[in-house]
Homo-oligomer: A and B are copies of this chain.
Amino acid sequence: MAGVTLKTVAKAVGVSPSTVSNAYNKPDQLSAALRERILATAQELGYAGPDASARALRSGKAGAIGVLFTDKLAYAFSDPYAVGFLAGLAEVAEEFSTSLLLMPLSSADIVGGSSAVQQAAIDAAAIFCVPSEHPAVDILAARGIPSVSTDRGGHPGLSWVAIDEVEAAAKLGKHLNRLGHRDIVVLVDDKAEAVGETGIDVDFDEITCTDCEMRIQGLQKELPDARIRLVTGGHNAFASGLKAAEYALDSHDRPTAIVGLSDVQALGAMEAMKVRGLIPGRDLTVAGFDDIPAAEPAGLTTIRQPIKDKGRAVGRILLDPAATERQILMPTQLVVRSSSGPAPRH
């Protein structure tokens, strides 16, 4: 069973290893009859085709692109936004019959080389929602792996597919300003530490994610005279938004608007309101980012970004030789729904 290699097959058929290799990779380099014979013998011997690692080593092609995907891989799947990106990327990958390698970027000792990012046999990489300062990004660069990020922060030459985060947030900020909101709580995700039972206030300096920083800046820009507080309930997820919103709603000075830096968090906030009998858009304004599918039925005001297209565009840059543009700015759009309304006058 084990130990059947190209050589074994070659010997059995009575040809050279090169020929067996050609039978698999370059059918037009040998007669059809011989190829048939080789394939048949291979089958008999239980040879399952050229070894993947050996082929990858020799030919320099791994047939896979890596995906650096948010802080914790498992968390990523709790946000439909991230999943949408992956779907778009997968679509293109599929077209080029390339696999997607999801790499955890856990804290394994980076220098020791035992981290997944080091180990991964990949031809290229997509970097999704990982700040360009992250060591894993450096490793990719050091390995000379062509990468595309969803973040514009990196070196000038780096490829990216992104949105103008500041401008996008500014659109929402303007909307809230017009509605008269001057006291706003922003729900941010906190990757760094585990938050306890309840949400907590955070400082702007503590924000670890570049996108988040820029969105907050965008909001501030259009809400210069508003009080903007940052609250977190943990990593980016429905439950965290819920927790953080509960904290904000139950505090002595309740804001007039809650902005989730992602829709899942905003939806969590809506749930918290529902429990408290508060009606979004009337009692309190809620807004989010991304416009995930669940936002529409929930009536959530949000900033739409074409997430699946983002995934596709990244895939094209990585895989399609015809793709020339290496830095792509995607459009965003303010989608006003029932969850936002005028701030109650006092």
Cβ–Cβ contact B90 & A97, under 8 A: no
- Give the docked Cα–Cα distance between A327 and B27 (Å): 41
Which of these, B51, B90, B97, contacts A74 with CB under 8 Å?
Answer: B90
Per the 8 Å Cβ criterion, residues 22-50 of A in contact with B are 24-25, 27, 39, 46, 48-50
Q: Chain A 83-111 against B: per-residue CB contact (8 Å), 1 yes, 0 no?
A: 11011101101100111111110101001
Q: Which residue of B lies closest to A111 (CB)?
A: B39
Which of these, B64, B76, B90, B144, contacts A101 with CB under 8 Å?
Answer: B64
Cβ of A118: which chain B residues have Cβ within 8 Å of it? 48-50, 52
Given the known inter-chain contacts A2-B144, A73-B93, A119-B63, please indicate yes or no for A102 contacting B100, CB distance below 8 A: yes
Q: Which residue of B lies closest to A55 (CB)?
A: B119
Q: Chain A 50-72 against B: per-residue CB contact (8 Å), 1 yes, 0 no?
A: 11111111000011101000001
Q: Which residue of B lies closest to A143 (CB)?
A: B48
Cβ–Cβ contact A51 & B46, under 8 A: no
Given the known inter-chain contacts A24-B113, A94-B74, please indicate yes or no for A52 contacting B121, CB distance below 8 A: yes
Kindly state whether residue A114 has any CB partner on chain B within 8 Å. yes
Q: Which residue of B lies closest to A25 (CB)?
A: B113
What are 11 A-B contacts defined by CB distance under 8 Å? A24-B113, A27-B112, A48-B139, A49-B142, A53-B56, A54-B57, A56-B56, A73-B100, A80-B80, A98-B116, A101-B101
**Chain A residues near B (Cβ < 8 Å):** 1-2, 24-25, 27, 39, 46, 48-57, 62-64, 66, 72-74, 76-78, 80, 83-84, 86-88, 90-91, 93-94, 97-104, 106, 108, 111-116, 118-122, 139, 142-144, 294
Cβ of A122: which chain B residues have Cβ within 8 Å of it? 52
What distance in Å separates the Cβ of A285 from its nearest Cβ neighbour in chain B?
Answer: 21
Q: Which residue of B lies closest to A103 (CB)?
A: B99
Cβ of A51: which chain B residues have Cβ within 8 Å of it? 57
Given the known inter-chain contacts A1-B144, A57-B51, A104-B97, please indicate yes or no for A91 contacting B113, CB distance below 8 A: no
Cβ–Cβ contact B99 & A119, under 8 A: yes
Nearest 7 CB-CB pairings of A with B = A77-B87, A48-B142, A53-B56, A53-B57, A74-B91, A52-B121, A94-B104
Given the known inter-chain contacts A24-B112, A39-B111, A77-B87, please indicate yes or no for A53 contacting B121, CB distance below 8 A: yes
Cβ–Cβ contact B77 & A90, under 8 A: yes
Q: Which residue of B lies closest to A61 (CB)?
A: B119
